[in-house]
Amino acid sequence: MAENIAGANKLMEFALDAYQSSWLAIANIYKPENVNVLGVNSQAPLDIITDGLRLVATYERRIKQVKATISQIKNTFPAAFTSITSLPDGVLAHIFRITIEEVWITVNSGTVIPPYTVGLRDPQPCCLTSCVDSTRIPSHPNNLSHVCRRWRRITTNLSSLWTHIDLSPCHPHANQLIARGKVSASRTGTLPLDIHMVEWLDYYWRKGDYLDSDTHQFCTSIATRMRSLELISGPRNGSFYKHFLAACFKRCIPGVFTQLSLRVRSDPGDINDRPGSYFIEVADSTRQGDNCLQLNISRKHFETVLRAITVLRLCNLYFRWTCQAYHGLDELRLTHQDHSVSIAKIELANILRSSPQLRVLHFALDISDESALVPPAQLNELEELVLCNVHLYMQRVVLELISPGTKPLRMHTIHSNSKRLLSSADDEFLKFFSRSNIVQLTMGGEAFGKPFRVHLSKLFELLPNLQTLTLKNAIIQGGLQVTPHCNENSPSPSGQIILHLVSSTVHSTAFWWLTSILRVKKITSYDVQIRDDNDSNRSTRRLGLAKYLEKVGEDCPIVHFIEDKEQAREAFLFYEYLDD
C-alpha cells in the first residue's frame, strides 16, 4: 500500500513538472518581444489556452477531493486519536471549562435571547429553568470530580469552574442545590459569584409567605461576592422575595455586583395564572399598593448599589422609571408578559439618554403619551436592538427616540399586526434604516397575523451593509430590472448575504433577482411558497419552493430546505417564533 502511494506521488510530480514546463514554453514563445522581433504569429492558440484554464479548474477540484479524503482518513485512523488521560492538565482544564459553559446555555428561559448575541448572552446562561420544571437538577462541576483522582485535583484547583451557583426555593431538591452551592463558594477563593435562582411552580411545596431560611441565609452569606443575580419568580406572590432582595442589596458591594436580572414568569400549565407586575421601592417611599415591593433598606445605599449595575434585565418586576438603576447601562432589557405596565415617552427618552454607552436594548413595554415631541438619544455604541410584543406604532415611537452611531447593528422586530410594516415612504422604520448601519435584520409577524409586503431591492438599497436577513410571514417582491450594484449604496458583495425565510410567499421575479443578480450566499427555507408571476393559472401559480424549482427545471444549490420545526429551531436565528 505504501509503495503504491509513493509511486503515485512520483507520477503526479512528474506530470505536474511536464505540464508546467509546457505552459512556460508557450509563455516564452508569445512574449511581446518575440512577437515583434522574431515575427512570431501574434494569434495565440486561444482555444488551447481556454481549454487549459478549464482543465486546471477541474484539477483543482480533484485535488481538493483527494485532500478531503486524506483528512477523513486521518480523522478516523485509530492512531490519530489521543487518549484524554494523556492530555496535560491545562488542556483538560480548558475542556472542562468549555463543557460546563455548554451545560449552562439556556434551554428554556422564556425570554428573547437570539443566538447571534455571542458575548452578550445572559450573565448566568443556564438550563436551570427547564430542570426545575421537570424536578431535575442541572449538571455541576462536582460531577467531573468523581471520575478519577486526577480529574478531582484539576477541577478542585480550577476556581473559575465553580463561580455559577444554581438555587431553587420550594423545590424537592432545594437542600441539595444549597449544599452544592456551598461547595462551589468554597472552591472559588475570592472570585465573584453568579447566582441563578428559579422558583418551582408547584406551590404545595411552599412553606410560607417568605423565602425559606436556609436559602436566604446562604445567599446573604455570599452576597458580598455576588457579581450577578438572576431571579425568576412565580406569578402569584411577588412579595415572596422582598426580604431576600433587601438582604442581598444591603450586603452586596457596588462595583462587584454589576448584573441584575429579575423576572416574574407564568405557569405554563395554568392559562389563568398570569404573572403580576411589581415595582421595587424602598421602605420610606410614599408609593404604596399591591404592586409595590417595599424593601427595608436605606434609599442612599439602594441607589448606590443600583447605579453601579451595567447589565439590567427586567420582566414584570421593575424599578421606578426615575430610579438610578437606569443610569450608565451597557445592556437594558425591559419586557413583560402582559400589558399591565407602561412607560411615558419622555421617561423612556430620559432612560436612554442616561446610558449613552448602551450596547444592547430589548424593549417590549407599552408607551403612554406617544405623541409627545421628544428629541432622540444619541446611542453611538448600540450593537443590538430587539423590539417585540408591543403595538407596531409603539415600536415606531421607540425608533424615533434612538439616534444610532456607525457601529454594525443587529435588529429584530416581530409583531402580530405587521401588515402595515414598511407601508409608506415616511415610515419610521425606513427612516431608522437609512440612519443605521444594520448588518443583521429580522422582521415579520406571527403565523396567524396578516403578512407584510417587502420589496427586496429597495430594502437592500436602504441597508447597503446587510449580511443576514430573516423574514417571517412576509410577501416578498422585487423585480429583476433593478440592479443592486449600480450605485455607491449597493448592498454587501455578491455571495456574502444569507437569507432566512419563514412562512412567507416569494414572487418568482424576486426569487430570481436574489439568485441571479444579488447572488445570495445561502437561502434557508421553512414553509415558503413561490408565486409564479409568469403563470396565469390560479391552480399552479402558487407552489412550494421545492415544487416550483422542479416545475421550472432548475437546480438551486444555495437553497437549504427545513422540513420540520425541530430542524428549524437549529437553523433559524429567532426559532422561538415558530411556535406562535
Q: Is residue 406 part of a domain?
A: no
Q: Is residue 567 part of a domain?
A: yes
Q: Where does a domain end: 329, 353, 386?
A: 329
Report the share of the chain in percent with pLDDT over 70.
Answer: 73
Does 138 have pLDDT greater than 50? yes
Q: Are 498 and 579 contained in the same domain?
A: yes
Does 482 have pLDDT greater than 50? no
Q: Which segment of 2-11, 441-450, 546-555 scores lowest on mean pLDDT?
A: 441-450
What pLDDT is attached to residue 378? 96
Count of domains forming the chain: 3
Task: Read off the C-alpha cell for 213.
Answer: 431560611
Q: Where does a domain end: 329, 353, 368?
A: 329
Q: Are 317 and 174 contained in the same domain?
A: yes
Q: Is residue 267 part of a domain?
A: yes
What pLDDT is attached to residue 261? 93
Q: Are 11 and 151 contained in the same domain?
A: no
For residue 163, give every residue at least 6 positions away whose Cβ sits within 8 Å of its Cβ, in sequence order, or none.
184, 188, 191, 192, 193, 194, 227
Does 335 have pLDDT greater than 70? yes
Q: Are 38 and 153 contained in the same domain?
A: no
For residue 221, give every residue at least 6 positions away whose Cβ sits within 8 Å of its Cβ, in sequence order, or none.
none
What pLDDT is attached to residue 189? 85
Q: Are 449 and 520 contained in the same domain?
A: yes
The per-residue pLDDT for range 487-531, each reduced to its tens digit, is 444 455 556 888 898 888 999 888 888 887 777 888 888 888 888
Q: Which segment of 20-29, 365-374, 386-395, 531-540 scores lowest on mean pLDDT?
A: 531-540
Determine the average pLDDT of the residues in 62-86.
75
> What size, in residues, is the chain?
580
**Highest-pLDDT range among 278-287, 380-389, 533-542:** 380-389
What pLDDT is attached to residue 577? 40
What pLDDT is attached to residue 48? 79
What pLDDT is attached to residue 206? 53
For residue 439, give every residue at least 6 positions away whose Cβ sits within 8 Å of its Cβ, in sequence order, or none.
408, 409, 410, 465, 466, 467, 468
Q: Is residue 390 part of a domain?
A: no
Report which of 262, 142, 98 is spatially closest to residue 195, judged by C-alpha positions. Answer: 262
Q: Specify whether the CB–CB gap between 230 and 123 falls below 8 A.
A: yes
Determine the average pLDDT of the residues in 291-310.
89
Residue 526, helix vs strand vs coil:
strand
Q: Which segment of 48-52, 66-70, 175-179, 287-291 scores lowest on mean pLDDT?
A: 287-291
Cα of 317 vs its chain's centroid, Å: 24
What pLDDT is attached to residue 290? 65
Which residue would you say has higher pLDDT here, 486 or 388? 388
Which residue would you say has higher pLDDT here, 60 or 102? 60
The per-residue pLDDT for range 188-246, each reduced to its tens digit, is 888 999 998 887 776 544 555 556 678 888 888 999 999 999 988 877 655 677 888 88
Q: Specify whether the CB–CB gap between 314 and 259 falls below 8 A.
A: no
Band of residue 163 on the pLDDT scale cut at 50, 70, 90: confident
Task: Read off the C-alpha cell for 169.
Answer: 426555593
- Give the burial class of 27: count Cβ atoms within 10 A of its Cβ; 0-12 exposed, 13-18 middle, 19 or more buried: exposed
Task: Read off the C-alpha cell for 456.
Answer: 427586496
Give CA–CA dist 23/59, Å, rounded: 15
What pLDDT is attached to residue 197? 86
Residue owning grid cell 438599497: 461
Q: Are 13 and 135 contained in the same domain?
A: no
Q: Are 95 and 53 contained in the same domain?
A: no
What pLDDT is attached to residue 79? 59
Q: Record the pTM.
A: 0.76
Q: Is residue 393 part of a domain?
A: no
Q: Is residue 361 part of a domain?
A: no
Which residue would you say has higher pLDDT here, 364 or 371? 364
Q: Are 70 and 31 contained in the same domain?
A: yes
Task: Read off the C-alpha cell for 487.
Answer: 450605485
Determine the average pLDDT of the residues in 41-60.
74
What pLDDT is attached to residue 355? 96
Band of residue 50 on the pLDDT scale cut at 50, 70, 90: confident
Q: Are 32 and 155 contained in the same domain?
A: no
What pLDDT is attached to residue 345? 93
Report the share of the chain in percent with pLDDT over 90.
Answer: 21
Q: Are 151 and 27 contained in the same domain?
A: no
**Highest-pLDDT range among 63-77, 291-305, 413-427:** 291-305
The per-residue pLDDT for range 104-122, each reduced to its tens digit, is 444 333 333 333 332 333 3
Calculate the dihedral angle through the C-alpha atoms of 325, 331, 336, 341, rounding to the nearest 10 degrees: 40
What pLDDT is attached to residue 437? 95
Q: Is residue 280 part of a domain?
A: yes
Q: Are 146 and 181 contained in the same domain?
A: yes
Q: Specify whether the CB–CB gap between 552 and 540 falls below 8 A.
A: no
Determine the average pLDDT of the residues in 41-63.
75
Band of residue 453 on the pLDDT scale cut at 50, 70, 90: confident
What pLDDT is attached to residue 114? 36
Determine the average pLDDT of the residues in 128-134.
53
Determine the average pLDDT of the residues in 299-326.
93
Domain assignment of residue 562, given as a range: 424-580
Does 401 have pLDDT greater than 90? yes
Does 45 have pLDDT greater than 80? no
Residue 144, helix vs strand vs coil:
helix
Report which of 320, 169, 206, 198 is spatially closest to residue 262, judged by C-alpha positions. Answer: 198
For residue 568, which amino acid is it? A
Give CA–CA dist 310/329, Å, rounded: 4
Q: Is residue 340 part of a domain?
A: no
What pLDDT is attached to residue 125? 43
Q: Are 175 and 231 contained in the same domain?
A: yes
Determine the average pLDDT of the residues in 560-565.
79
Determine the average pLDDT of the residues in 272-284.
77
Calculate the dihedral angle through the C-alpha atoms of 238, 243, 247, 252, rounding to the nearest 10 degrees: 0
Q: Where does a domain end: 54, 76, 98?
A: 76
- Pairing verdict, β 542-544 and 529-531: antiparallel
Q: Which segment of 308-312, 335-339, 364-368 scores lowest on mean pLDDT?
A: 335-339
Q: Specify whether the CB–CB gap between 526 and 499 falls below 8 A.
A: no
Give CA–CA dist 184/528, Å, rounded: 49
What pLDDT is attached to residue 102? 55
